[in-house]
Structure 1
Amino acid sequence: MSQLFSPISLREQTFRNRLWVSPMCQYSAIDGVVNDWHHVHLAQFASGGAGLVIAEASAVVPEGRISPRDAGIWNDAQRDAWRPIVESIHARGSKAAIQLAHAGRKASTWWPFAEQATAGRGSVAPDEGGWVSEAPSPIAYVGFAAPDELNRERIDEIAAAFAAAAHRAVEAGFDAVELHAAHGYLLHEFLSPLSNERTDEYGGSLENRARLVLRVIEEVRAEVGEAYPILVRFSATDSAPGGLAVDDVAQVAAWALDAGADFFDVSSSGLVAHQQIDAHPGYQVPFAARVREVTGAATGAVGIITTGTQAEEVIASGSADVVLAAREWLRDPHFALRAAAELGEAPEHLWPAQYLRAHRAA
């Protein structure tokens, strides 16, 4: 049996394989409430054999949405809309997680396929349905409106909102939560000296800049209990001078492990427009390997992983414990079934009973 298609356990959850679906924003929610598009979008990956399907970045407060059309989980109506989607994922044999997020200074922007975005506009103005974004420091992302600097009372509110959102995730039936501390969103903004110029206990040293993400992990752990897995997505580097480097993030991950996290989904970049990225197949795998080496924790690798052979090598080499993909699942919602066939595996349990005639005929 390939290592990619071996099970993996985190706390009291066991996932049927190590080929997982990364969160992918769909910009299709109304007032944060997901709908039939999200249902079909996510359930198809479970039919395709995924070990875990992670639902898209879902805001813990209204101001934390990337766009007015982002999903949320800050109220009970949103929780209730997620529940049948989770049930469909479970019915197809996969586990389900949700990414809890706050977009920080990258909030209140036009969704990618909006006419305004294609015309080059960035932020959605308050009189167009947007809002003033919030961040650790009043430093704008290039092309976006300047954010307000968060005061300590608002930081307290946001930390509590992550915990409340995690509680709703448990109620909705999700098997795990992922905290979004990557790609230039709020928790990442606190971590990086390029976006955090605070002089209080949330700024300055790496330990201070990590204070919020560690606090969020601790508050979420207190809310969900000891049996429930907590994943964290980090950007391992800002890919820009003066920004975070992989060993900085590995240190934060070590602290996060002590705070109650279980697994690190290791991506990179997204904080600044002047980043320099050499993107090629597997280019982010070494970041997951380094975080794994430093922390001893389970990690997930991402970054242009498109074949079963490539994914198997990531696991077999000890670079990571899980492979997460996004675009490849969009191209082929049955990516895991294809990868299994490519590796010579014949795990009938991955196949929906309705599809077995295709598998057996092959």
Structure 2
Amino acid sequence: MIDHPQVINERVPNAPYFQPLVEPSVGTALSPDDWPQNKHLPLLFQPLKVGPITLKNRIIVAPMCMYSCEQDGSEAGVLTPFHLVHLGAFAARGAALTMVEATSVLPNGRLSPNDSGLWSDRQAQSLRQIFSFIRTQGSVPAIQLGHGGRKTSTLAPWLDTSTIKPHLKSHVATNGDAGGWTDNVMAPSAVAYNDETFPHPREMSDNDIAELKDAFKAAVKRADEAGAEVIELHCAHGYLMHSFLSPLSNKRTDQYGGSLENRMRLPLEILKSMRELVPKTKGLWMRISASDWWPEGEQDDKGEWISWGIEQSKIFVKEAIKLGVDLVDCSSGGNTPRQKISVGPGYQVPFAEQIRHSLSDDEKIPISAVGLITNGPQAEEILQTGKADVICAAREFLRDPALVLSWAQELGVVVNTPVQYQRAYTRMMVKHDEREPVKQH
């Protein structure tokens, strides 16, 4: 009688349903002992420790609004099976971290009536399955929390009447059938993003600010209990935290306006409360707009701050690091329709580079770059030249959910693939020694 080794299709431990075990997880570079072409591994596929978590590679999924939640009733702001499939596709194909879209801590903080929220237990319940699936794929489940401020009560992009009927030029989701809340849009000051096409906000009162702080605390607790391993504060793109930071949108004369110290006060207070609630075993991240791209610059000829820019961002990041932020993701713009952006490949990367190089050895944390990073060699060059530590991608993931595997093939790296899809990656999973050139596919 011949003894055959037992062959078992092992399952992911502790998963609520059967998932084939993939070790190491998808997107992880395989050992150079077995795959000689991995002997000189690109930084993009080297693991990185970020605070208490470890990324298996340096490619993460940026938060991307899908405008696909119910707008009212008990299911308002609740993620759906669409979001599970949408986010799960990235996690299953090797993303090191998969972040849920910008999620509002209050109903009036949604960009549109169909955005994600986390002010109720029902919303938290919808996140549990998504976080659980992301985790079973070996990706880190994460969520971005924020409030849209003066850019809320607007339409989903495909409903924007300025694209359907250009002469109307309106982004507003009105009260009633459109599900908006134009009577409850709030901001640091009563200054609209655009007088003609966006809602007119009211200036936040002390009670509004207190309610906002409590809402962030409640949302952080819900996110933690639902299984998020990283929670990110959204301080970018002209939304509420960014609009407090910028003198273009913050005209307050109290402790939250005027000086740089005052304009930073509310975001830093919220960060501090988040760090106190996020367990030490989990990460606290922050996304910023490093510049308003204001045509007149960041300072006037007297040296006074007139817009938000890279020099203030450096100071803000240093203060955030003191409070325990583990990573800063550097984006830009979104706070004024007069912004003048020089768009091109990697156009926002210089902001990440400047912030990264402004940090002392004691302050150093990983810095992430985003913005028209479209291929593996470009991403690797950003890391190799010390411009950033992590690459954050959004539209490229929408175009190619298997972006991690595609960039691995571009760079000649052998990474593990989903066992269910391995037959589609036979060209990558071919051994060769260092004398043979890496084939690009």
| CA-to-aligned-CA distance 1:152-201 (integer Å, 9 cap, x gap) | 12111111211211111111111101110000000000000000000000
1:309 pairs with 2:377: yes
Match of 2:292 among 238, 242, 248: 238
Tell me, in whole angstroms, the C-alpha distance in 2 between the residues paired with 1:161 and 1:10: 27
Indicate the SS of the match to 2:85: helix
What does residue 167 of structure 1 align with? 221
Larger Rg: 2
Give the whole-Å Cα distance in 2 for the aligned partners of 1:42 and 1:306.
19
Higher mean alpha-carbon deviation, 332-341 vs 1-10, is at 1-10
The answer for the alignment partner of 2:42 in structure 1 is 2
Alignment partner of 1:99 out of 144, 168, 177: 144
Alignment equivalent of 1:262, drawn from 315, 326, 331: 326
Alignment correspondent of 1:122: 171
Of 253, 270, 277, the residue aligned with 2:341 is: 277
Partner of 1:300: 368
In the alignment, the residues of structure 1 paired with residue 415 and residue 276 of structure 2 have an alpha-carbon distance, to the nearest angstrom, of 38
Letter in 2 for 1:48: R
8 Å CA contact retained: 1:160, 1:219: no
- How far apart, CA to CA, are the structure 2 residues paired with 1:361 and 1:4? 20
Please list, as runs of the form range in 1=range in 2, the aligned pairs for 1:73-222 lying within 5 A after superposition. 73-114=118-159, 116=161, 118-119=164-165, 120-128=169-177, 129-131=179-181, 132-142=184-194, 143-222=197-276
User: Which one is further off, 190-199 or 287-296?
Assistant: 287-296
- Which residue number corresponds to residue 396 of structure 2? 328
Q: In 2, Cα distance between the equivalents of 1:94 and 1:209?
A: 35
1:346 to 1:122, Cα distance in 2 relative to 1, 3 A: same
Show CA shifts across 1:56-80 (max 9, x none): 0000010100000000111110000
Q: Deviations over 1:295-325 (max 9, x none)?
A: 3221100110010101111111111110001
Instruction: Select between 109-118 and 98-107 the one with higher mean Cα deviation.
Output: 109-118
**Paired amino acid for 2:315:** Q
Q: Normalization by structure 1: what TM-score?
A: 0.97
CA distance in 1, matches of 2:137, 2:92: 6
Partner amino acid, structure 1, of 2:42 = S
Question: Where do 5+ consecutive residues of structure 2 fail to align?
Answer: 1-40, 71-75, 297-305, 429-441
Does the CA contact (< 8 Å) of 2:292 and 2:333 recur in 1? Answer: yes
Structure with the higher helix share, 1 or 2: 1
Q: 2:68 aligns with which of 24, 28, 38?
A: 28
| Percent pairwise identity | 44
Q: 1:2–1:191: structure 2 CA closer, same or farther, 3 Å change rule? A: same
Determine the C-alpha separation between the residues in 1 that align with 2:327 and 2:401.
24
Distance 2:59 2:280 in 1: 25
Distance in 1 of aligned mates of 2:319 and 2:353: 17
2:426 aligns with 360
Give the SS at the match of 1:265. strand
Partner of 2:32: none
Residues in 2 aligned to 1:153 and 1:50: alpha-carbon distance in whole angstroms: 40
**TM-score scaled by structure 2?**
0.80
| Partner SS, residue 357 of structure 2 | helix
CA shift digits 1:116-145 (9 cap, x unpaired): 453332222223321121000000111112
Verify the 8 A CA contact 2:64 2:102 in the aligned structure 1. yes
> Is the Cα contact below 8 Å between 2:290 and 2:330 reproduced in 1?
yes
1:13 aligns with 2:79: no
Change in CA separation of 1:284 and 1:115 when aligned onto 2, cut-off 3 Å: closer
Equivalent pairs counted in the alignment come to 360
In structure 1, stretches of 5+ residues that fail to align are none
Query: Partner of 2:426: helix, strand, or coil?
Result: helix
Q: What is the SS of the residue equivalent to 1:113?
A: helix
- The 1-side partners of 2:365 and 2:278 are apart by 20
CA distance in 1, matches of 2:282, 2:135: 17
SS of 1:324's equivalent in the other structure is strand
Cα distance 1:340–1:361, how it changes in 2: closer, same or farther (>3 A)? closer
What is the CA distance between 1:8 and its match in structure 2? 1.3
* Aligned residues of 2:50 and 2:365 also touching (Cα < 8 A): no
Describe the superposition over 1:31-56 as per-residue Cα deviations: whole angstroms up to 9, x where unpaired.
10010111111001112211111110
Q: What is the distance in 2 between the residues matched to 1:339 and 1:231?
A: 25
Alpha-carbon contact 1:234-1:268 (below 8 Å) kept: yes
Distance (whole Å) between structure 2 residues aligned to residue 148 and residue 37 of structure 1? 34
Q: How big is the shift at 1:115? A: 5.9
Query: Does residue 302 of structure 2 align to residue 248 of structure 1?
Result: no
